[in-house]
C-alpha cells in the first residue's frame, strides 16, 4: 500500500538555525498537510497545500514557517529561525482530494529537537 514517507526521522538543531523537513506524499494525492504534536499535547494543524499554493493555515504557521513543493514529488516544511518551542513531532499527510470525503494518510513523522 502506498505510504507517505518523511525524512529525517530525527533532526537535532541549534536554536536560531534553519531546518527543512521533507515529505514524499502518496503519488496521486492532490492535497498535502503539515501537522505537529508537541510532547504530551494533541496533534495540531499547521498548513494545507493544494495546486501549488497554501489553501489554509493555522495561527501557529507564522512568518518563520514556509512550505514548498519544489519538484512535483517532495513537499517540504522550512522553519527559518528555530525556537525551543518548535521542538515537536512534525507529521506530513496527504489526501486524494477527489470524490467524497476521504481520510488523510500520515507519515511516521520527524522528531525535531531544538537545543
Which positions lie near another protein, rule CB under 8 A? 4, 6, 30-31, 33, 35, 41-45, 48, 50, 56, 58, 91, 93, 95, 97, 100-109
**Distance of closest approach, residue 88 Cβ to another protein, in angstroms:** 13
Cβ atoms within 10 Å of 91's Cβ, excluding its own: 23
**Distance of closest approach, residue 101 Cβ to another protein, in angstroms:** 4
Count of residues making up the chain: 115
Identify which of residues 79 and 90 has a Cβ nearer to another protein in the complex: 90
Identify which of residues 15 and 75 has a Cβ nearer to another protein in the complex: 75
Of 69, 75, 80, 84, whose CA–CA distance to 34 is shortest? 75
**Distance of closest approach, residue 112 Cβ to another protein, in angstroms:** 14
DSSP string over 1-35? ----EEE-SEEEE-TT--EEEEEE--TT--EEEEE
Amino acid at each position: 500500500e502506498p505510504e507517505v514517507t518523511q525524512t529525517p526521522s530525527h533532526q537535532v538543531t541549534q536554536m536560531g538555525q534553519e531546518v527543512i523537513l521533507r515529505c514524499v506524499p502518496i503519488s496521486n494525492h492532490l492535497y498535502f498537510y503539515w501537522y505537529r504534536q508537541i510532547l504530551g499535547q494533541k496533534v495540531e494543524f499547521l498548513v494545507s497545500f493544494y495546486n501549488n499554493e497554501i489553501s489554509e493555515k493555522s495561527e501557529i504557521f507564522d512568518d518563520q514557517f514556509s512550505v514548498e513543493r519544489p519538484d512535483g514529488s517532495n513537499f517540504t516544511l522550512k522553519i527559518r529561525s528555530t525556537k525551543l518551542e518548535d521542538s515537536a513531532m512534525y507529521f506530513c499527510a496527504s489526501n486524494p482530494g477527489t470524490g467524497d470525503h476521504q481520510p488523510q494518510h500520515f507519515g511516521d513523522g520527524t522528531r525535531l529537537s531544538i537545543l
